[in-house]
């Protein structure tokens, strides 16, 4: 048994941070919580002497873990095990895989997230809508939006609805879907259920599609499940998203909404939103708003949220009327 083997996880982490240098260590610190930073810093401060043999072993083990993780994301645990066994021998390979799989879980359908959306589309377009919904719920929103946009219009609403009402899917079903798609899970599947889908998931997807596709899907949902369609609409555009509007659109919104609502909405808004809105007002109007907000005193969060919701409803109405453009879907917006 080597000296490095006897070290605790914290001691190895501290040794690694010392070995990689201050610049790289600083980047890692940015990813840690305050508590983790404190514990790691304390451990580093307790190291008085660094033996090169131990240092090399710790860095080497870390490098092997990185390679193993890369192998897993490329071709699954089986592939990682095969490569590591050839490089390091069966015993050491199994040790690395065991340490990784006890902490690492790659989301299902990871292979699809690394693929071109057009390839994924050709891969799943003939599957059942529930199967497509399951897969899209695991992809990132932009990728899912692109794929959903290319599905037949009559299928788009059905798939979106299935994503929205999806709750939990058992590992057995996920395994079966990936078996049908001739793929294997890219992570160790735990015995608990995996959360996917839901209203927020379909909102994220719809925020990634073009306006025409969004309308087609929402119209279909209006027929199938009006309450769900309304809930999705409420979440499609939130008040803080006003920053994606151009100056002309913001000025149009300011003219359209009640001053009382806008003052209340800005009370709890971010500085970015306040700055952008004030930039599209006259100096006199800005002074009036700032005075009103200052002398308003504490307000209920519920009142602020209701005011923001009314403004969002106005923005959506103006968008539907073609009077303002909400940038979406990564493509060019067309005003008609």
Q: Give 286's contacts (C-beta < 8 A, 6+ positions apart).
A: 278
Residue 329 placed within a domain = no
Residue 170 placed within a domain = yes
Contact 123, 94 (CB under 8 A): no
CA neighbor of 303 nearest in space, from 256, 330, 268: 268
Q: Which residues are bridge partners to 168 per DSSP? A: 195
The residue ranges of the chain whose pLDDT is under 70 are 1-6, 34, 38, 45-50, 64-84, 87-88, 96-115, 170-171, 175-176, 178-197, 205, 207-211, 327-336
Contact 199, 232 (CB under 8 A): yes
Beta strand extents in the chain (DSSP E only) = 168-169, 194-195
Contact 183, 247 (CB under 8 A): no
For residues 49 and 151, state if they share a domain: no
Two tokens, residue 34: 């305050």
Strand, coil or helix: what is 195?
Answer: strand
Q: How far apart (Å, rounded) are the C-alpha atoms in residues 336 and 321?
A: 9
User: Counting every residue, how long is the chain?
Assistant: 336
| Residue 122, domain extent | 110-235
For residues 168 and 181, state if they share a domain: yes
What pLDDT is attached to residue 178?
65
For residues 117 and 226, state if they share a domain: yes
Residue 92 placed within a domain = yes
How many domains is the chain partitioned into structurally?
Answer: 3
Q: Model's pTM, two decimal places?
A: 0.41
For residues 117 and 222, state if they share a domain: yes
- The 10 Å CB-count burial string (b at 16+, else e) for 192-224 is eebebbbbebbbbbbbbbbbebbebbbebbeee
For residues 68 and 117, state if they share a domain: no
Q: What confidence tens digit (pLDDT) does each residue in 280-311 have?
A: 999 999 999 999 988 888 888 888 888 888 89
Domain with residue 204: its CATH number is 1.10.220.30
């Amino acid at each position: 048994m080597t000296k490095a083997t006897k070290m605790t996880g914290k001691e190895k982490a501290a040794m690694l941070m010392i070995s990689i240098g201050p610049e790289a260590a600083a980047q890692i610190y940015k990813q840690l919580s305050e508590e983790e930073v404190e514990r790691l810093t304390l451990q580093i401060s307790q190291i008085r002497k660094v033996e090169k043999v131990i240092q090399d072993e710790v860095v080497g083990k870390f490098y092997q873990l990185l390679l193993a993780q890369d192998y897993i994301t490329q071709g699954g645990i089986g592939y990682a095990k095969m490569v590591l066994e050839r490089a390091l021998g069966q015993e050491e390979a199994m040790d690395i895989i065991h340490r990784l799989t006890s902490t690492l879980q790659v989301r299902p359908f990871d292979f699809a997230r690394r693929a071109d959306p057009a390839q994924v589309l050709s891969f799943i377009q003939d599957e059942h809508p529930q199967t497509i919904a399951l897969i899209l719920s695991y992809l990132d929103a932009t990728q899912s939006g692109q794929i959903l946009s290319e599905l037949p219009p009559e299928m788009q609403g059905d798939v979106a609805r299935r994503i929205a009402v999806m709750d939990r899917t058992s590992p057995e079903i996920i395994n079966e879907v990936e078996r049908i798609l001739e793929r294997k899970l890219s992570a160790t599947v735990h015995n608990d259920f995996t959360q996917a889908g839901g209203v927020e998931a379909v909102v994220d997807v719809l925020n990634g599609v073009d306006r025409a596709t969004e309308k087609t899907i929402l119209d279909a949902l209006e027929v199938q499940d009006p309450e769900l369609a309304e809930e999705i609409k409420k979440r499609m555009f939130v008040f803080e998203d006003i920053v994606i509007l151009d100056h002309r659109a913001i000025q149009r919104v300011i003219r359209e909404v009640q001053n009382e609502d806008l003052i209340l909405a800005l009370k709890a808004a971010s500085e970015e939103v306040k700055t952008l809105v004030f930039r599209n007002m006259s100096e006199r109007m800005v002074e009036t708003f700032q005075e009103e907000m200052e002398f308003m005193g504490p307000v209920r969060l519920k009142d602020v949220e209701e005011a923001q919701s009314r403004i969002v409803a106005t923005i959506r109405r103006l968008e539907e009327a073609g009077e303002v453009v909400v940038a979406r879907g990564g493509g060019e917006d067309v005003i008609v």
